[in-house]
Amino acid sequence: MDIAAAALLMLVLFALLGAGVWIGLALMGVAWIGMLAFTARVPGDAMAVTVWGTASSWTLTALPLFVWMGEILFRTRMSEDMFRGLAPWMERLPGRLLHTNIIGCTIFAAVSGSSAATCATIGKMTLPELRSRGYPEDKIIGTLAGAGTLGLLIPPSIIMIVYGVTAEVSIAKLFIAGVIPGILVAALFMGYVIVWSLIHPELIPPIERHTTLREKLHASKNLIPVVLLILAVLGSIYVGVATATEAAAFGVVGSLILSALQGSLSRATFGSSLMGATRLYCMIALILAGASFLTLSMGYIGLPRVLAEWIAGLGLSKFALIVALMLFYILLGCFLDGISMVVLTMAIIIPTVQKAGIDLLWFGIFIVLVVEMAQITPPVGFNLFVLQGMTGRQITYIARATMPMFFLLVVAVLLIYALPELATWLPEKMMQH
Amino acid sequence: MVGTLASVLLGIFGRLLDFYIRGTDAYAGYCMAAAGFLALAHTFRRGEHIRVTLLLEQAGAARPWLERLCLALALFASGLLAWYSVRLAWQSHTFNDISTGNDATRLWIPQIGMALGTGLLMIALLDAFVGAWRATSVLPSAPATPSHVE
């Protein structure tokens, strides 16, 4: 196994992906070819056993449950309630209601595992409200697309489950590690909006009506259900009474109760949330199945080891490695979705990362941040697609509006590189319990 | 077809939650696997399996051929998967393979779901392939509202 053969295999993979073969099946095909060409092993039975093992693994059960929870909440009136609860508090901040986008997404991210879902759920409410009040459209879209990506960083997070399963890192720890960086990113976004509004005060519509503290507090009661749900899900993980999967089940039951209390739970919405969640999960499962077989095949071939040695031979510093990886993922993120990006590269990159002495928990947060960037980079960025569907604007316009958020995410990566404790402190604290 | 699938999946998910609360980890895994595999074909037909469509959209006149090539390759991969899934379930049955967990399930029972699901996916792909060859049916392209997954 040399670098040329490895490059050839990678080329085949990218040719298959580029041609438009369904990603999960493409991964399986390449794994098959690789095993047949470079090892003496028979691929067939190993494939079935690996795929079965992944598809029925207990750790993974958190994933369909969190997906389902997101689908239920998407069909409730939660975003309206949150907007009503948050809006009065924002009137004094420079940038006013633009912050409802960011804080709304941050809060919703704590009950949702996905970025596009966060973006769609919050945007459903804030887009028309902010537009009718005359806020600048590019800022509405930019903050929404950017803050929507927090759905990945703030637990629960589908991408963290995928990473945890492939890299064999505790999902509960990953979840807790994402909290502080998530708040940090939200703060960066809000800081940007504040600075921008101080420079362009004429573009922010005036306050409609001052609300009293009493009214503010009264409006805040709309936030109670979502806060309870967050406590049930994250609290149970943090204090250690529940694993990620158990917390996910709490979440599903909690959101069902919530939607029943709101009166938005009917046979139809229940059915459509269930079917929607099943299809979504199925889509992810096929990719994961393909990836697990690819990982196995790569392991037999020895490609990750070769690559790790090759990169170690380059003598890159840790910082240079991280920057190189970030550029690599940004490039990859232009064409691939986050989950495919993670499963595709984990099989190959983990040994390199370990060899460089990088903590896998920290690396998980790094990966989530670069996947967040991938969500908002054209031509393939899911949040851009969501907003394209919701606003009817050109994808180039949306991408331009989101650019500042992209750079803020780069800043966030550099910050957690400089201060790794941002990611690792809280999970360590949790383990001491 | 969709109706029966829906009821099957409804049952599976309901059971999943129920069993899981009782702490039967392995069964949650089996149910999840069954739900995932059985939905493969349905998800494919809805055009919700993820793929890179960048080149396809730019291909113009070559698009039908590229589409056929993709389908052929995917058919091959799914065929392999289906064949060996059936084989896995069959071997588990023959050797009376029992789960290593504390549930001691005979593994061929949940593995039937995998064999069936991957088989259905292969049939769906075959159908789409034949359709694309005769140019009678056009595959649904990516859904208008992208999946809420990421």
ipTM of the complex: 0.79
The model's confidence at residue B128, banded by pLDDT at 50, 70 and 90, is: confident
Q: Averaged over B129-141, what is the pLDDT?
A: 66
**Short-list A204, A152, A193, A207, CA closest to A175:** A152
Q: Which of B75, B94, B105, B148 to mutate to test the interface with A (most CBs of A within 10 A)?
A: B148
pLDDT score recorded for residue A366: 95
Q: Which residues of B touch A22 (CB under 8 A)?
A: 44, 49-51, 70, 74
Min distance B19 CA to chain A CA atoms (Å): 11
Indicate whether B149 pLDDT > 60: no
Q: Which residues of B touch A117 (CB under 8 A)?
A: 148-149
Indicate whether A29 pLDDT > 60: yes
The larger pLDDT score, comparing residue A246 to residue A68, is at: A68
Question: Which positions 58-77 of A are in contact with B (Cβ < 8 Å)?
Answer: 58, 60-61, 64-65, 67-68, 70-71, 74
3-class DSSP assignment, residue B106:
strand
Write down the mean pLDDT value for chain A: 86
pLDDT score recorded for residue B7: 45
Q: Averaged over A392-418, what is the pLDDT?
A: 92
DSSP B30-73: HHHHHHHHHTHHHHHHTT-S----HHHHH-GGGHHHHHHHHHHH
Contact A19 B55 (CB under 8 A): yes
Q: Is some CB atom of chain B closer than 8 A to the CB atom of A244?
A: no
Q: Which of A57, A159, A286 sits opposite B49 (nearest CB)?
A: A286
The larger pLDDT score, comparing residue A293 to residue B3, is at: A293
Tokens of A134: 């005359």
State pTM to two decimals.
0.83
pLDDT digits (tens, 9 = 90+) for A215-255: 888 888 888 888 898 888 888 887 777 777 778 887 888 88
pLDDT digits (tens, 9 = 90+) for A121-138: 898 889 988 999 899 999
Indicate whether A432 pLDDT > 70: no
Taking the alpha carbons of A237, A179, A119, A125 in that order, is the dihedral positive or negative? positive
**Short-list A90, A151, A96, A164, CA closest to A123:** A151
Indicate whether B110 pLDDT > 80: no
Contact A58 B25 (CB under 8 A): yes
Q: Which residues of A169-195 are buried (b: 16+ CB within 10 A; e: fewer)?
A: bbbbbbbbbbbbbbebbbebbbebbee
pLDDT digits (tens, 9 = 90+) for A322-375: 999 999 888 888 877 788 888 888 878 888 888 888 999 999 999 999 989 988
Contact B77 A25 (CB under 8 A): yes
Q: Is some CB atom of chain A closer than 8 A to the CB atom of B50?
A: yes
Indicate whether B64 pLDDT > 70: yes
3-class DSSP assignment, residue A432:
coil
Question: Which positions 23-52 of A are in contact with B (Cβ < 8 Å)?
Answer: 23-26, 28-29, 32, 44-45, 47-49, 51-52
Indicate whether A3 pLDDT > 80: no
pLDDT score recorded for residue B5: 44
Q: Which residues of A touch B94 (CB under 8 A)?
A: none
The model's confidence at residue B109, banded by pLDDT at 50, 70 and 90, is: confident
